[in-house]
Each structure stands twice: as C-alpha cells, then as structure tokens.
Amino acid sequence: MNARRILLELFDAALRAVDGRASVDRYLREIDLPEPIEVFAVGKAASAMARGAQIALGSRIERMLVITKDGHTDPELDAAPGVLQLQSAHPVPDLRSFSNGAELEERVKHLRESVFPLFLISGGSSSLVEALRDGVSLDEVTALNEQGLSSGWEIARLNLARARLSRIKGGGIARQLRERRALALFISDVPGDDPDVIGSGLLGRDAGIADGIDRHVIATVETAVRTVQDGARAHGLELEAVPGRFDGDANALAGDILARLRACESDGLVWGGESTVTLPPRHGRGGRNTHLALSFARQLRAGEPWLLLAAGTDGTDGPTSDAGAIVDAGTIERATIAGCDVERAWHEFDSGTALEAAEDLVHTGPTGTNVGDILIAIKQSANSLRGHPLPRMV
C-alpha cells in the first residue's frame, strides 16, 4: 500500500477511536442516570456527542441544547423533537456567541428540580458561548482572542484569560447549578485533560463552592496515539510514541521531529499535542499544522525517506477548512513546479497555498471529535518519494 494511504488510514483510525458519538454512547450505556434528562452539548464535537447521548438514552432525554461551530451540526439532530442546534464562530466569538450564552444560562437557570442535567463539552467551546462579566465589552473579548491566537499563546493560557472576562466560564455554570447533581463528559484538547481548562472551564470547578457535578474525560489524544500504534503494527510497522504532548513553536517543533526521526531505530513516530505560531499582521492562508508540515518539508534533505502527517483531529487547522497536510522530500519541488514561491509562502505564513500547490493538503470535513493535533511519521521506499495527490477522506 502507498505510504500516504497508510498515513490516512492511521489518521482515520485515530479519529474513530476518539469519535464523540461513539465515546458518549459507550460511556452512557455503562451507567444508570435519573430521568428525565436535559442535555447541554457545547464545542466542536457537540453534535456528535449529542447524537451519542441520543442513541444511548433515547426517550429518557426531554430536551437538548447543542451549540457548535459553523458547519459542524448533525442533520439527524435537526429532525429530532426537543432538540435545538445553534452555531457560532470559531476561533473568535461573534454576536451569536452571546445569544448562545444567554440561551445556555436561561436553560440552566430554569431547570426543573425533577430534570437531571447532562453536559457534553469539547474543545472550541470558548468562542461558541459567552456571557460577559459586568463592564466587559465584546471588543475586549475579540482583542483578547486575536492577541492570543496571533501571538502563539498555549491553549491553557488563552483559556485562563478568557475565563477572567466571562460570567459562565471558569466554573460559572457550576455556580449556577449550585449543589445540584449533574454529569459532565469531556473530550479533551488541553494538556493535563483538566475539566477546569477544557472549554475555558465552562463546566469546571469553582474554588468557592462545593458542587454536585460528576466529571469524566472520555476521549484524549493518548487514545488516538495508541490506536495509531496498533494500526501501524497491522501494516508491519513499529512506531515510537513520543511521551508527553508536543507544544511550542511549530517551526522549532518541525526540526525536533526531524532530529528524532534521524536518530530513531523504529519505522517512525506518533505524537499528540498542539503547536503554536506567532503570526505577523499580514499573513496568508494556513494553520499551525500546515506551517509545521511545510517547515518540516523545507528541512528534509533530498531523498530522505520520511513522510509526515500533521493534522488537527477536529478536521480544521486554525481558521482554514484543511485538517493539515502530508509532506515528504518532494513537497517543495512539487509546489515550485506548480508555480508557488515556497520561501515567500513560508515566511508569510501562507503554508496552505504552498501545500495546495504540492497537492499535499488533507481534508476530512468535521470529524465529530477534537483531542488536539496529531503527528504521524513513517518511512517510505526511495522509489515512492514522488507520492500521489491525496484523496478526500469521507
């Protein structure tokens, strides 16, 4: 099998292992919840997680509020009675984020005593719902998000700053629930898998109160990494799982990955985490994964056998609709032949344009999960370095 197709197959297996619908369905079938139940799902994987709850709990669900990123809704939920799906912008909130936050607050505030609340939270929640503290303006929130994203802040730092401006983040929903019993399930895209950080702590703990929320993280990038290793073995490949999660500057990380590959004795590596980029005021199309991939391709020597997939498990890379890219030692040449000035593209953070020219972009569409980013690198035979255009995943 072509090495690129193996990488796509491994990535697909990783996505299925942390799928929001399957993860929620599997968890809820193992427990007994009071009924009736009201579901609150927020995040990029909200619709998939809500479908999992719908499948597992059926008629025990009385109402369901689903708040997700534009284009990430599930049509099957729209047809179900008692379900309201709302969309908003990501990664920077817009006015819909505030109406969504108001809807969330209103429903939590007016929960009947007989109804059991079930919260399903995934990454991306920070920009999708908002209710500001007194005296805080939309301009302040927008400026904070733009500063954090352009300056390469790590997600934990950005989420902490967001929570300081918000009435519902940083334990805000826990405060509104008081000591009421509830269950919160999380798909984690943050280091440490801390519910106080996931989604800016939308269902996190408030240090000032004792709450009745039972919190469980049901999908992480480590699960995806183990699945990639297992899938690689089925192809006769042994991949090294790098311990811990990667972070920091994408360009520096590309050099680190290449150094690890040149020194490793296995068939490649797999690593989960989230890199950062510091954007200039004027920049092109791309995200942290495509910039990392292009940086890696620039540092490869002619004929080196390494092939790298760098992609977001949510199916998007920053503000783009690309999940990421697969690059090899021929990437720069292919982009150049297609008429792209690769050095310009790299310096101007226009990696998406360069990798589109090389036919190296990976597209998945919304995946129903969000556990951060994943890097998979394998060796390929010398006679296949040219590669093939990548098929669209379905």
172 and 135 part of one domain: yes
In a domain, 389, yes or no: no
The range of the structural domain enclosing residue 298 comes to 3-15+222-384
Domain holding 165: CATH number? 3.40.50.10180
178 and 228 part of one domain: no
The one-letter amino acid code at 42 reads V
Distance CA 156, CA 222 (A): 18
Q: Are strands 324-327 and 306-312 parallel, antiparallel or unpaired?
A: antiparallel
Query: In this structure, what token pair is assigned to residue 239?
Result: 């991949």
199 and 140 part of one domain: yes
Of 197, 219, 241, the domain-final residue: 219
Cα 199 to Cα 43, 127, 155, 195: the distances in Å are: 8, 9, 10, 8
Residue 173 CA, chain-centre distance (Å), reads 22
Report the DSSP beta bridge partners of residue 325: 310, 361
Number of domains in the chain: 2
In a domain, 131, yes or no: yes
In a domain, 205, yes or no: yes
- Report the pLDDT value the prediction gives residue 318, as an integer from 0 to 100: 82
Range with lowest mean pLDDT among 19-28, 51-60, 138-147, 286-295: 138-147
Tell me the mean pLDDT in the region 155-177.
81
Distance CA 326, CA 355 (A): 9
Query: In this structure, what token pair is assigned to residue 205?
Result: 């703990």
- Report the pLDDT value the prediction gives residue 278, as an integer from 0 to 100: 87
- Report the pLDDT value the prediction gives residue 392, as an integer from 0 to 100: 46
Query: In this structure, what token pair is assigned to residue 394?
Result: 């379905």
Across 19-23, 129-133, 196-200, 387-391, the highest mean pLDDT is recorded for: 19-23
175 and 42 part of one domain: yes
Cα 104 to Cα 28, 47, 110, 238: the distances in Å are: 22, 15, 10, 46
50 and 170 part of one domain: yes
Distance CA 173, CA 191 (A): 22
In a domain, 393, yes or no: no
Give the model's confidence band at 84: pLDDT under 50 very low, under 70 low, under 90 confident, else very high. Answer: very high
As a whole-number percent, the residues of the chain with pLDDT over 90 amount to: 73
- Asked if residue 135 lies in contact with residue 152, where contact means CB atoms within 8 angstroms, the answer is no
Question: Angle at which helices 138-150 and 155-165 pack, to 10 degrees?
Answer: 170
* pLDDT surpassing 70 at residue 382: no
Distance CA 217, CA 339 (A): 46
Tell me the mean pLDDT in the region 87-98.
89
In a domain, 111, yes or no: yes
In a domain, 309, yes or no: yes
Domain holding 376: CATH number? 3.40.1480.10
Distance CA 240, CA 225 (A): 10
In a domain, 394, yes or no: no
175 and 254 part of one domain: no
CA atoms within 13 Å, Cβ hemisphere of 210: 0
- Asked if residue 366 lies in contact with residue 74, where contact means CB atoms within 8 angstroms, the answer is no
* pLDDT surpassing 60 at residue 383: no
Mean pLDDT across the chain, nearest whole number? 91
Q: In the chain, which residue ranges form alpha helices assigned H by DSSP?
A: 3-17, 20-28, 46-57, 75-78, 95-109, 125-128, 138-150, 155-165, 172-177, 221-234, 250-263, 288-299, 331-337, 342-347, 351-357
142 and 41 part of one domain: yes
- Asked if residue 44 lies in contact with residue 67, where contact means CB atoms within 8 angstroms, the answer is no
* pLDDT surpassing 70 at residue 212: yes
Distance CA 262, CA 295 (A): 16
**Residue 231 neighbours by CB under 8 Å, 6+ apart:** 9, 10, 13, 14
Of 181, 199, 219, the domain-final residue: 219
- Report the pLDDT value the prediction gives residue 389, as an integer from 0 to 100: 45
